[in-house]
Chain A
Amino acid sequence: MGGLQKKKYESGSATNYITRNKARKKLSLSLADFRRLCILKGIYPHEPKHKKKVNKGSTAPRTFYLLKDIRFLLHEPIVGKFREYKIFVRKLRKAYGKAEWGGVERLKENKPVYKLDHIIKERYPTFIDAVRDVDDSLSMCFLFSTFARTGKCHVQTIQLCRRLSVEWMNYVISSRSLRKVFLSIKGIYYQAEVLGQTITWIIPYQFAHDHPTDVDYRVMATFTEFYTTLLGFVNFRLYQTLNLVYPPKLDGQGEINLKSEFEEDYALDSESYTEKLSALSASLARMVPSAEEEETELDHFPTEGEDQEKMEEREKMEHEQIKQKKFFEGLKFFLNREVPRESLAFVIRCFGGEVSWDKSLCIGSTYDAKDETITHHIVDRPSIDTQYINRYYIQPQWVYDSVNAKILLPVEEYFLGVTLPPHLSPFVEETEGDYVPPEKLKLMALQRGEKPQTEDEEEEEEEEEDEDEEEDDQSEEEEEAEDEANLAEIEEKRSRGKSLSVKVTPGKAKAENRKRAAEEEKAEEKRLAIMMMKKREKYLYDKIMFGKKRNVREANKLAAKRKAHDDASKEDKKKKKKKC
């Protein structure tokens, strides 16, 4: 045989990959431009399986791209724009150096600009693809809109981000699509359901910024550039689906409400409209002025049997959801100046509440604190001087917790100066057997419509203890059920023991508990089924059951711990009181 010896690294994975530097040279771009291009086009580095082969025998760590990806990049029109821009910068620098101000002006007028529209269309061929991927862009836009204009990034970018984020918030308000809110130590997480897609984003707290030094701002700015374009197009389409005017406009009523005499104090004339929009206190104008949203009713089809049941169930769900969407409706909120205005206004308006604040706090307040019809006054300070008798003074957490629970929670636990119940994460979904904190159990009970046991409000001192007891009640309920079963068994035994002494008593018609009988039958069946299992299946079943039991055991342990903790804290409190 014979033939030519195959040379190394001339086929296979060595030719499928290309190093970053080579790719850069192939495109004749600088590294910064190459990075920008890759981010915009969504081309990411790859980790080859056999690095040594790809790297032609060297084991030096390198960044690799797929050669096909880079070939694809070669066709991109904005590559040419990047090169043009490079030349533009060179010319500009030269003109500055020669102090040719006319030339500078002319060059600046003809600055090469590239568009990302086609890239977005290419990366997200359908609208729903774009909506699915909007999480990232939302977080980035909200983040950039809170930046100070210090030169870390372009002022125009900040303004654009602000505009887009306000547009998004307004959309969420008018579509009533907010689902969850979570106040974390990092920022506020929101979750909305837009066109069937769950979208999560995070907003930093106001004024919480320091600029970390180990972040590449250039990369972040490139991502933001792409994401702002994406979000803009998504916003446009979303506004269209709701028949809203884009760019957003306040509707006539809202505009009148927001008219105030001292507008100049807040913002320049040019900016006051956007500021009003960002106040979030008025609704938006629609293309077709509709008379109050009609509730869309499901079409009725005559169906039979199970389908009908399902249909009814679905209908019920739908009704419930609609109800949940506007459970703040009819409530009037007033925000004190120390609470996070934007977040609260956003959340309250999302569920149909009315909201206002002090005139001097921000533009867009619709009524002042003296309004008699205010139902909830949100305060975040230990006490307040003048209190109106016909409204609740509550802490801001009430709003968020209510939104997560989708009901109006009892306000007692959120009064001024009261230690708040923990703010639970709505993003945690417990499976069966997991430990569920007692607060959540209580909440779930409330959601089911059970009333918490009425508290004796004779003395305030006892109130706290009552609360604690109530929590215990919840956890004890299950135990009680078990106890009952035990009791029944003991009684049975007793009765058996007694049967020795022969005694005839007039028979009583035993009330047959049908439900119980059915349950027993079911249990019996299950036991039999277990007995009939194959060895292997049995093994698996045992394993599953063991896992479940272990979970339950751990949950119980945690619950016990919690109880001990609560007891201890109660004791402490009592001691303290006695000392006082």
Chain B
Amino acid sequence: MRLTHTISTAGFSSSSSSLTTPELHYCHLRAGGAIMAAARRNKRMAASQPGFLSFNSGLDGNSSDIKRRKRVNKNKKKNWNKYSDIQDVEEFLDDVRLQEKAAGGLIAEKPDATLFFVDTGEKDKETQPQTTVKKGKRSKPLRIDLILQPDSRIPAPKNVLAFQQPNAKKQRRMAEKAARLAAMGVLPRREKLLRLRQAAAASGLPVKENPVANNNPERAFYDLWSAGTPETDDPYYLEQTKKKLVKRPDRLNEKPSVLPAIEVVGPGGSYNPDFFSHQDLLREAHEVEVKKLRAEERLARQLAVKEDIATEESSFKEQVEGLIEEGDVEPEEPEGGSEDTVIGPTATQEKKTEKQRRKEKAQRIKALRRKADRQMIDKQQQLFQLRSIRANLKTQEQRTRQRQAQRKANQEAQKSMPRRLGRLKFQTPDLDVQLSHELAGSLRSLKPEGSILKDRFMSLQKRNLIEPRERAKFKRKYKVKYSEKRAFREIV
């Protein structure tokens, strides 16, 4: 019973696969003569073998319905392929493949022991209880898994790509080159660097590390101002290779302002201030505010539109001014008179006579002489004015001295003033003040006023270290388009 069962399964599977797929057929056709020859050889071999058993019964014996052969010229290779009948070979090969797939080789070649067994029939009872042991649902494999399991007995062919090395040729060449160089005694770059590094480490010299970032919290510091580390290299060499730092001019170590770095707030800025100093601070802040307010008011006043704006009525009145009262009387225009007037110089001066010239010259000389005489007398007189002159000189000198002092004082004051360093002027920030009711009674309830960061920033500006700046305004590149969404419109 068992035996028949095995064979019938084989037969079933053969019948299912005996339908030659078009792909297979196509493959055969392409394989051409070589395959055909192989097929024929196989067939011959199979026929010569005595115990060959074929699966398909239709194959063995002469099939009756062989088509009549078409006559074609066989001197063309194309025709060889097209018109040679290889049906039988293919069927045979299919069968061979089927057998290999199902049984792992030709059934004819298998030993009997693998195909048959002796049915004693006794063991049934013993085995049954084992089979009846209920297996959990888990132990049963899923049907889908069973379907997906390969049912072929032929091992899958090896993946050729898995054994291929990419760039094998190139690498082989490189290896060859390296070997050649090694034979010549040239080391590759990597090896050379490694050896150098090893040599440096062995010699005990510090290895040059990657420099540490300035804001690394673990960075190390050293004694920067120690007297040691004199320049060992030749100064000329350093200068020529631009390794020598240029000396900083002394002028640059002067500070641009005499103001201190930290300006301590006055006593009124204490968290728990003395009453009067607090009042002082408040007054100061108040005065600043008042000044600002005044400036604003003045600006508003200057920009204000005057009260008497021309109304329709007034403008009409202006237009008819004098027309209504005088009625028809029209002012007479003065006639003529304007024709004679000529603009600009016209009269050409007549030439002077010789006599006139002489006279004038004499007069001129006389005047000059008189003037010189006068000066002479004055000079002589000054001898008697010595005291007043001295007094004059003194006052003059005093004035210049005063001016000098003033100028010097101004210059000193300028040093502590913020300069105009750019587009913007330095604006003194508002005083940080806490009003009387805001003052905290204790340190715990203190609310700090102002921001130290801003203070520092302003201090830098005030000391002329940076130019005053304002936050860059956000500029939109494109205009924003507004549109109503439908959902919005539905609601509204």
B252–A246 touching, CB < 8 Å:
no
A94 beta carbon closer than 8 Å to chain B:
no
- Given A63-B421, A237-B225 in contact, is the A156-B276 Cβ separation under 8 Å? no
Q: 21 A-B contacts, Cβ less than 8 Å apart?
A: A44-B465, A46-B421, A63-B423, A72-B249, A75-B246, A123-B248, A126-B225, A139-B456, A162-B217, A183-B271, A185-B432, A189-B265, A211-B453, A220-B456, A233-B221, A420-B442, A425-B269, A427-B267, A437-B274, A439-B274, A561-B276
B454 in contact (CB, < 8 A): yes
Cα distance A139–B457 when bound, in Å?
A: 12
Other-chain contact of B449, A183, A185, A558 (Cβ < 8 Å): A185
Residue contact B277 to A160, C-beta cutoff 8 Å: no
How distant is B342 from chain A, measured CB to nearest CB, in Å? 42
Judged by a CB distance under 8 angstroms, whether B460 is at the interface is yes
CA distance A45 to B275 in the complex (A): 43
Q: Of residues 418 to 455 in B, which have CB atoms within 8 Å of A's CB atoms?
A: 419-423, 432, 434, 441-444, 446, 448-455
Query: Do B261 and A135 have beta carbons less than 8 Å apart?
Result: yes
Q: A45-B467, A233-B224, A423-B270 are in contact. List 13 more A-B contacts (CB 8 A).
A: A44-B256, A63-B421, A136-B261, A154-B215, A159-B217, A220-B453, A397-B272, A397-B443, A420-B442, A422-B273, A428-B267, A437-B277, A565-B275
A235 proximity list for chain B (CB < 8 A): 221
Choose from B222, B264, B442, B450 the contact partner of A425 (Cβ within 8 Å): B264
Among B219, B221, B443, B452, the residue within 8 A (CB) of A204 is B452
Whether A139 and B262, one on each chain, are in contact in the complex, defined by CB atoms closer than 8 angstroms, is: yes
Q: Is the CB of A208 within 8 A of B224?
A: no
Q: Mark B458-492, 1 if CB is under 8 A from A, else 0.
A: 00100011110111000000000000000000000
Q: Which of chain B's residues have a CB closer than 8 A to the CB of A424?
A: 267, 270, 274
Task: Name the A residues within 8 Å of B464 (CB-CB).
Answer: 44-45
Q: B194 on the interface (CB 8 Å rule)? A: no
Would A225 and B214 count as touching, CB distance under 8 A? Answer: yes
Q: Which 3 residue pairs spanning A and B have beta carbons closest together?
A: A159-B217, A425-B267, A47-B419
* A43 CA to B256 CA, complexed, in Å: 10
| B266 contacts partner chain A, Cβ-Cβ < 8 Å | yes
Complex Cα gap A63–B260 (Å): 24
Bound-state Cα–Cα, A45 to B224, Å: 28
When the two chains form the complex, which single residue of B223, B266, B420, B456 contacts A428, counting CB atoms closer than 8 Å?
B266
Assembled-state Cα–Cα distance A157/B465 (Å) = 22
- B264 touching A183, Cβ below 8 Å: no
Q: Mark A148-161, 1 if CB is under 8 A from B, else 0.
A: 00000010110110
Cβ contacts under 8 Å, A159 to chain B: 217
Q: Which listed residue (A120, A201, A246, A339) contacts B262, Cβ 8 A?
A: A201
Q: Which residues of A contact B264 (CB under 8 A)?
A: 182, 184, 189, 200, 425, 427
Interface check B245, CB cutoff 8 A: yes
A259: Cβ under 8 A from any B Cβ? no
Q: Given A157-B215, A235-B221, A339-B444, does the pair A215, B419 have CB atoms closer than 8 Å?
A: no
Which of A72, A120, A215, A419 has its CB near the most chain B CB atoms (within 10 A)? A215
CB distance from B307 to the nearest CB of A (A): 37
Please give me the residue from chain B that is nearest to A211 by CB atom: B453
CA A44 – CA B462 in complex, angstroms?
12
Which of B214, B419, B467 meets A229, CB within 8 Å? B214
Does residue A186 face the partner (Cβ distance < 8 Å to B)? Answer: yes
The contact of B422 among A45, A220, A240, by CB within 8 Å, is A45
- Which stretch in A110-118, A282-290, A323-331, A507-515 binds the other chain? A110-118
Tell me the minimal C-beta distance from A74 to chain B in angstroms: 9
How many whole Å from A118's CB to the nearest CB in chain B?
6
Cβ-based interface call for A177 (8 A): no
Q: A61-B422, A160-B219, A562-B275 are in contact. Are A186 and B267 (CB under 8 A)?
A: no
- Say yes or no: A186-B261 contact (C-beta < 8 A), given A115-B214, A420-B272, A437-B276: no
Contacts of A410 in B (CB 8 A): none
Q: Name the CB-closest residue of B to A188.
A: B271
The docked-state distance in angstroms from the alpha carbon of A308 to that of B465 is 49
User: Which among B215, B262, B276 is the interface contact of A225 at CB below 8 angstroms?
Assistant: B215
Q: How far is the CA of A184 from the CA of B460 in the complex (A)?
A: 21
Known contacts A47-B420, A113-B212, A157-B215; is-contact A236 B446 (Cβ 8 Å): no
Does the CB pair B249–A68 fall under 8 Å? Answer: yes
Q: Does B213 contact A (CB under 8 A)?
A: yes
Chain B: CB-nearest residue to A400: B443
Q: How far does the alpha carbon of A246 sit from the alpha carbon of B442 in the complex, in Å?
A: 38
Chain B residues with CB under 8 Å of chain A are 210-217, 219, 221-225, 245-246, 248-249, 252-253, 256, 260-262, 264-267, 269-277, 419-423, 432, 434, 441-444, 446, 448-457, 460, 464-467, 469-471
Q: Does A539 touch B at the CB level, under 8 Å?
A: no
Report if A254 contacts B (CB, 8 A).
no
Query: How many A-B contacts are there with CB distance less than 8 Å?
Result: 232
* Cα-based distance from A424 to B277 in the complex (angstroms): 9
Judge if A266 is at the interface, Cβ distance under 8 Å. Answer: no
**Whole-angstrom distance between the Cβ of A416 and the nearest chain B Cβ:** 10
Which residues of the other chain, A, contact B422 by a CB distance below 8 angstroms? 45, 61-63
Q: Nearest Cβ distance between residue B421 and chain A, in whole angstroms? A: 5
Interface centre among B214, B252, B467 (most CB of A within 10 A): B214
Q: Does A213 contact B (CB under 8 A)?
A: yes
Q: How far is the CB of A246 from chain B (nearest CB, A)?
A: 7
Q: Is the CB of A228 within 8 A of B245?
A: no
For A35, the closest partner residue in chain B by CB is B466
1/0 contact string of A426-451 vs chain B (CB within 8 Å): 01100000010101000000000000
Report yes or no: A186 in contact with B421, Cβ–Cβ below 8 A.
no
Q: Which of A156, A184, A232, A237 contacts B213 (CB 8 A)?
A: A156
B212 contact set on A, CB distance < 8 A? 113
A140 interface residue, CB < 8 Å from B? yes
Contact status of A184 and B442, CB under 8 A, knowing A139-B456, A160-B219:
no
B466 closest partner in A (C-beta): A219
Residue from A126, A216, A232 in contact with B221 in the complex, judged by beta carbons closer than 8 Å: A232
Is A354 among interface residues, defined by CB-CB distance under 8 A? Answer: no
Partner of B454, one of A44, A214, A225: A214
Alpha-carbon distance between A227 and B448 when the two chains are bound, in angstroms:
25
Q: Which residue of the partner chain B has the closest CB to A136?
A: B261
Judge whether A419 and B444 touch: CB under 8 Å. no
B271 and A208 within 8 A (CB):
no
Complex CA gap A122/B222 in Å reads 16
Residues of B within 8 A of A183 (CB): 270-272, 443
| Contact for A200 among B262, B269, B419, B453, CB less than 8 A | B262
Bound-state CA distance A42–B112 (Å) is: 102
- Inter-subunit contact A113/B419 (CB<8 Å): no
**A252 is an interface residue with CB less than 8 A from chain B:** no
The answer to whether A216 and B216 touch (CB under 8 A), given A135-B261, A201-B262, A202-B452, is no
Task: Determine whether A338 belongs to the interface, using a CB cutoff of 8 Å to chain B.
Answer: yes
A162 to B214 Cα, complex, angstroms: 15
Report A51-88 residues with CB < 8 Å from chain B CB. 61-63, 68-69, 72, 75, 77
CA distance A182 to B443 in the complex (A): 12
Shortest distance from the beta carbon of B267 to any chain A beta carbon, whole Å: 4
- How far is B277's CA from A223's CA once the two chains are assembled, in angstroms? 34
Residue of A nearest to B433 (CB): A185
CB-CB nearest in chain A for B414: A47
Residues of chain B contacted by A428 (CB below 8 angstroms) = 266-267
Chain B residue with Cβ nearest A208: B448
C-beta contact mask, A381-398 vs B, less than 8 Å → 1, else 0?
A: 100000000000001110
Contact in complex: A202, B262 (CB < 8 Å): yes
Q: Are B443 and A113 in contact (CB under 8 A)?
A: no
Contact A216 B457 (CB under 8 A): yes
The verdict on A362 contacting chain B, using a C-beta distance below 8 Å, is no
Q: How far is the CA of A467 from the CA of B65 in the complex (A)?
A: 140
Bound together, the chains give a CA A216 to CA B269 distance in angstroms of 26
| C-alpha spacing A223/B466, complex, angstroms | 11
- Residues of B close to A186: CB separation below 8 A: 265, 269, 432, 448-450, 452, 455
* Interface residue A340 (Cβ < 8 Å from any Cβ of B): yes
User: Which B residue sits closest to A115, measured CB to CB?
Assistant: B211
Which chain A positions have C-beta within 8 A of B419?
Answer: 46-47
